[in-house]
A = this chain, B = another copy of it.
């Protein structure tokens, strides 16, 4: 109903499908949302959806790619870079962005983590698990590059540890700990200090 989206969106069924799928998958998870709901909500015919996305997996893969663009790049990365003047500040700003994110009423969690854990150990075999792992990898690359630019030691290990703080705080936020980002930020600060000393090993 409605088609209140004016003439512009009239001939863009693929965009309408992906837009609807993005909202539904991000909010309710890719497993809980059926194709039929995407169809009815986007006002598209089932045959149209399957013409653009041969299987549900393809639609989910498109969603994950879109998620990386909107969440990883446009939200987290861009905001963190904007809020900090130095690489170190930009790293820490990630958790400031997280803090804002965790306080949203429609906080939806990290789709990459959600999809990966939905595979329950078979993630390395399933294309959705592989894609999610790749997008999580890409986040770590962003962190590692900032660590590089900040002159930190062992940037690869730093990025892994940093990412543990990010993922842990996201799960904590899903649990209801709305100030998890501030807790993680404090630990993150200590981690930076540890990687400023020439020797990292304990």
Contacts and interface: CB of A to CB of B under 8 A. Distances in A.
Interface stretch (A5-13, A23-31, A68-76, A82-90): A23-31
B175 A120 contact: no
Contacts of A32: 120
Given A31-B31, A164-B180, A183-B161, A175 B109 contact: no
Interface string A161-173: 1011111110110
Determine how many copies of this chain the complex contains: 2
Contacts of A190: 187, 190-191, 194
Chain A interface secondary structure, helix, strand, loop or mixed? Answer: helix
Interface residues of A, number: 46
Interface string A114-155: 101110110110000000010010000000000000000000
A114 B117 contact: yes
A164 B184 contact: yes
Contact of A183 (B107, B116, B160): B160
Given A133-B175, A171-B167, A113 B121 contact: no
A175 B201 CA distance: 22
B164 A168 contact: yes
- List 6 A-B pairs, minimum CB-CB distance, nearest first: A168-B168, A164-B168, A29-B120, A167-B171, A190-B190, A161-B183
A157 interface: yes
